[in-house]
Amino acid sequence: MGICRSNDLRLRVTAAVAAGSSRRKAAERFGVSVSSAIRWSARSANEGSPAPRKQGRPAGKGPLAAHLDYLIAVVEAVPDITMPELAARLQSERGVLAANASLSKLLCRAGFTYKKTADGVGVRTR
């Protein structure tokens, strides 16, 4: 796996190429690979910046995204439902396996929080 290079280094390499230096000479001068200098220069020309692109899955595109409305309806109907109970209900009614942590993250992104009450029973609120 490659090394993540700083944006400052990327900018200096692309500035050297823009100033007339060849990509190979700029790569040698700054101690990076030739292919990196070529990619950074091309990205700078096409996108306006040699900064790295975002990594990972785009938000809202996971396997549980299609079931978000169903999960919100279940939590609003039963606010004190636990994540294992919610996962079991999702599997029995929709046939979808989901980890408790994934469900919790999804509900947190949807605006739900878990509040403890004085009697020790928690309730999910929005």
Number of folded domains in the chain?
2
The Cα-based distances of 76 to 9, 14, 42, 80 in angstroms read 50, 52, 50, 9
Q: The pTM is what?
A: 0.54
* Tokens 């993250």 found at: 105
- For 124, phi and psi rounded to 5 degrees? -85, 130
Q: Are residues 120 and 83 in the same domain?
A: yes
Residue 54 falls within a domain, yes or no? no
- Write out the chain's pLDDT in tens, 126 residues: 567 899 999 999 999 999 999 999 999 999 999 999 999 999 999 999 999 988 887 777 888 989 999 999 999 998 888 899 999 999 999 999 999 999 999 999 888 887 766 665 655 666
Residue numbers of the domain that contains 97: 65-125
* CATH code for position 79: 1.10.10.10
